[in-house]
Amino acid sequence: MNIPIAAEPIFHIGSFAVTNAYVNSTLATMAFVIFAFLFSRGIRQVPRRLQAAVEALLEFLLGYFDQVTGSREKSRQFLPLVGTLFLFILVSNWMGLLPGTGTIGVWEMMHGELELVPLLRPAMSDLNMTLAMAVTSIVMTHLVGIFTLGFFVHWNKFIQLGSLFKAVVSGKPMKIVTAIVEFGVGLLELVSEVAKVLSLSLRLFGNIFAGEVLITVMLSLVSFIVPLPFMLLELIVGVVQATVFAMLVLVYLSIMSSKPHGEGHEESKSHSHDGTEPATAAHHA
């Protein structure tokens, strides 16, 4: 069976092509919306089993996030985005293992051959989906950096015109050379932001698409028993890939919301020049 890299369109709404991967992602989104609606109506002061399980999951995620952010406040701030990414990728990956996904469809003539176009396809096996998630995640990290540090402080990490201007005004050759080097490094950091998008999207797409190909090949050879270990492996891969994507986004958020290196040192120096010594120093004096 031929498995194209691009998701196959099922039908069109005007010029918009609804693909089988898009159907899968829509079903996953609807499942989350329905679950959230029903769950919110059943919240009690004394939690029942389902509510206790959800609270335990959130507490586990927060504790895991704390190891990266080092702050429960930041973990709570990043939980809506990172937690949603983790759960959406996990559920979408696991939905790809449901019976009928990739096997139930319609036969159509494509490239002169009769091929099966499945009605459902794992959402993360579509590069458009993973690329859109990666772009959205990286844009969100920059928005968090802007709102946390300020527009100019955030972008000075990449386009260090302020540092270069101060060095030129100082007239010191070494400071000017250092500022030029830092300016070039900042431009390289901008290139690395594009690399982050490619890395996040291609890693997730490649692993899920490879898993889909493996399961399809195994099912085409032997329909019973033999594919089960490979499906179990795909369950584990789904968890791993969701964790890797979410944790990398969390790391990027933590970095973008942190002050640039050396800023705290400059602030402490300015305080000492103003005559406001630390309490310990004043006590010893």
Q: What is the pLDDT of residues 24-43, one digit of tens each?
A: 999 999 999 999 999 988 88
CA–CA separation, 203 and 69 (whole Å): 23
Q: Write down the pLDDT at residue 176.
A: 81
Among the residue ranges 16-25, 105-114, 161-170, 274-283, the one predicted with the least confidence is: 274-283
**pLDDT tens digits, one per residue of 99-150:** 777 677 777 766 667 777 788 888 898 899 999 999 999 999 999 999 998 8
**What's the pTM?**
0.81
The alpha carbon torsion through 175, 181, 184, 188 (nearest 10 deg) reads -130
Q: Write down the pLDDT at residue 80.
A: 92
Amino acid (1-letter code) at residue 140: M
Q: What is the Cα Rg of the chain in Å?
A: 25
In this predicted model, which residue has the larger pLDDT, 206 or 106?
206
DSSP assigned state of 102: T
Q: How many CB atoms lie within 10 A of CB 37?
A: 9
Q: Write down the pLDDT at residue 281.
A: 39
Among the residue ranges 14-18, 97-101, 192-196, 269-273, the one predicted with the least confidence is: 269-273
**pLDDT tens digits, one per residue of 241-270:** 999 999 999 999 999 988 876 554 444 444
Q: Write down the pLDDT at residue 274.
A: 47
106: three-class secondary structure by DSSP: strand
Q: Write down the pLDDT at residue 233.
A: 82
